[in-house]
Amino acid sequence: MTVHERNISASIDPVKLDRLAEVAIKVGLNLQAGQDLLLTAPSAALPLVRKIAEHAYKAGAGLVTPFFSDEAVTLARYRFGHDESFDRAAGWLYEGMAKAFAANTARLAIVGDNPMLLAGEDPAKVSRASKANSIAYQPALERIVGFDINWNIIAYPSAAWAKQVFPDDEEDVAVAKLADAIFAASRVDNDNPIEAWNKHNATLRSRTEWLNGQRFSALKYSGPGTDLTIGLADGHEWEGGASTAKNGVICNANIPTEEVFTTPHARRVNGHVVSTKPLSYQGSLIDGISVKFEEGRIVEAKAARGEEVLNKVLDTDEGARRLGEVALVPHSSPISKSGLLFFNTLFDENAACHIALGQCYSKCFINGDKLTPEQIAAQGGNKSFIHIDWMIGSGKLDIDGVHADGRSVPVFRKGEWA
CA distance 405 to 392: 27
**pLDDT digit string (tens) for the chain, length 418 residues:** 565 666 677 899 999 999 999 999 999 999 999 999 999 999 999 999 999 999 999 999 999 999 999 999 999 999 999 999 999 999 999 999 999 999 999 999 999 999 889 888 898 898 899 889 989 999 999 899 888 999 999 999 999 999 999 999 999 999 999 999 999 999 999 999 999 999 999 999 999 999 999 999 999 999 999 999 999 999 999 999 999 999 999 999 999 999 999 999 999 999 999 999 999 887 788 999 999 999 999 999 999 999 988 998 999 999 999 999 999 999 999 999 999 999 998 999 899 999 999 999 888 999 988 899 999 999 999 999 899 999 999 999 999 999 999 999 999 999 999 9
Q: DSSP 3-state assignment of 68?
A: strand
CATH class of 3-185: alpha beta
**Domain chopping of the chain, boundaries:** 3-185, 215-238+259-417
CA distance 280 to 50: 28
Q: Which helix (H) or strand (E) holds 58?
A: helix 46-58
Residue 416: how many other CB atoms lie within 10 Å: 11
Strand order in the sheet with 354-358: 260-262, 323-328, 354-358, 387-391
Query: What is the pTM (predicted TM-score) of this model?
Result: 0.88
Residues 6 or more apart from 93 whose CB is under 8 A from it? Answer: 67
